[in-house]
């Protein structure tokens, strides 16, 4: 059976919102050079586009964490699989995340990075699924709120597929579980 991709947010809508986020971040960080920390693998496409639209100098680094594996549900066990290459001490850190689901992964990352003494830590999240939150997380810059569906595209995958889509789509539960 071929999987049917159901579009949720168009490429044009994504591009427009990323530009708006970049303008707000550029304004808020005027006179500073924040360190953007992309959470791999899902956030790299979002972060690349965001950086291109920023009008301020930035530094970039990446952090890879694992909590899903090949499943559609978080395992609840979070581990850093690739750590930052640079020190964040006394830096303005802006975490770039693809999606806020349960909130557990982002909370783990924030708590871990706070122990490294950054000047500030803020969050920039492309997609938020409020229905799935298990804990409250403050999102400083939010792209879109989405329904409780398994989303793909624009860097977000299902079993390493669909990252290449230039828009946000969802897969139905039946298609995922087949």
Sequence ranges of the domains in the chain: 10-71+81-149
What average pLDDT is seen over the chain? Answer: 90
d(CA 127, CA 142): 7
φ and ψ of 144, to 5 deg: -145, 150
pLDDT at residue number 140: 98
From the candidates 49, 92, 98, 101, which is the catalytic residue?
101
pLDDT at residue number 129: 95
> H helices of 29-152, where?
44-53, 104-114
Query: Is 28 marked active-site?
Result: no
Structure tokens at 119: 């000047």
Residue 18 has pLDDT above 50, yes or no: yes
Structure tokens at 75: 């395992």
For the domain spanning 10-71+81-149, the CATH number is: 3.40.50.2020
d(CA 75, CA 143): 25
Residue 178 has pLDDT above 50, yes or no: no
Instruction: Give the mean pLDDT of 74-84.
Output: 78
Instruction: Judge whether 94 and 25 are in contact, CB under 8 Å.
Output: yes
pLDDT at residue number 173: 60
């Amino acid at each position: 059976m071929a999987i049917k991709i159901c579009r949720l947010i168009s490429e044009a809508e994504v591009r427009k919102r990323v530009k708006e986020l970049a303008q707000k971040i550029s304004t808020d960080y005027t006179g500073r050079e924040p360190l953007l920390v992309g959470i791999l693998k899902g956030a790299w496409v979002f972060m690349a586009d965001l950086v291109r639209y920023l009008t301020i100098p930035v530094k970039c680094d990446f952090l890879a964490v694992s909590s899903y594996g090949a499943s559609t549900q978080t395992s609840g066990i979070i581990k850093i699989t690739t750590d930052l290459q640079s020190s964040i001490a006394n830096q303005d850190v802006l975490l770039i995340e693809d999606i806020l689901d349960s909130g557990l992964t982002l909370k783990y990352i924030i708590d871990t990075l706070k122990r490294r003494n950054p000047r500030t830590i803020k969050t920039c999240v492309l997609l938020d699924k409020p229905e799935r939150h298990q804990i409250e997380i403050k999102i400083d810059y939010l792209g879109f709120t989405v329904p409780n569906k398994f989303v793909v595209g624009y860097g977000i995958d299902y079993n390493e597929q669909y990252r290449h889509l230039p828009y946000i789509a969802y897969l139905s539960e039946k298609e995922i579980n087949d």
